[in-house]
Amino acid sequence: MKTTARVLLYSDDRTTREQVRLTLGRKLAADLPELDVLEVATQPVVLQAMDAGGIDLVILDGEATPSGGIGLCHQLKNEIEDCPPVLLLVARVADAWLATWSKADAITPYPVDPVRLPAAAADLLRARLAAEATA
């Protein structure tokens, strides 16, 4: 099993990134590795990090500006073969259909939900690590 799981966290809002990082903690569950969270604030840095590889989970802020996480998710899912799972933070329930369009693997509400966010992240990370182990 991997000793760390690399999480790419994108939001233009430093406070949002901090809330997500604190909610995730250092480890999501006993059966998962410790988290190494890479916080980024711009779309170009997201793309650079994804090109560099080694990302196990992507968390995108659907409300980020000028490049929102929903459109960015759509771009990643269409351009990256074997794209890591993407968890979208959405502020409006009405945006759930956009998350489906973007091919997001899961959505969670914003403001950050301290129960739903880590649970969704853990589920996605488990699935990714299990797929990597059998590949």
pLDDT one-digit tens code per residue, 38-85? 999 999 999 999 999 999 999 999 999 999 999 999 999 999 999 999
Nearest CA among 47, 67, 60 for reference residue 103: 60
pLDDT of 21 higher than 80: yes
The per-residue pLDDT for 121 is 98
pLDDT of 96 higher than 90: no
Distances in Å between the Cα of 77 and the Cα atoms of 47, 52, 85, 102, 115 are: 12, 16, 9, 8, 26
Instruction: CATH number of the domain at 87, please.
Output: 3.40.50.2300
The per-residue pLDDT for 95 is 77
Q: From the CA atom positions of the chain, what is the Rg in Å?
A: 13
Q: Are the C-beta atoms of 19 and 112 separated by less than 8 Å? A: yes
pLDDT of 98 higher than 90: no
Average pLDDT over residues 84-93: 92
The per-residue pLDDT for 19 is 97
Q: How many structural domains are present in the chain?
A: 1
Using the structure block, give the residue that is written with the tokens 């409300």: 63
Q: Are the C-beta atoms of 98 and 70 separated by less than 8 Å? A: yes
The per-residue pLDDT for 94 is 76
Percent share of the chain, pLDDT over 90: 86
Instruction: Give the three-state DSSP class for 79.
Output: helix
Range of the domain at 42: 4-134
Using the structure block, give the residue that is written with the tokens 């997500």: 20
pLDDT of 97 higher than 90: no
Q: Are the C-beta atoms of 45 and 118 separated by less than 8 Å? A: no
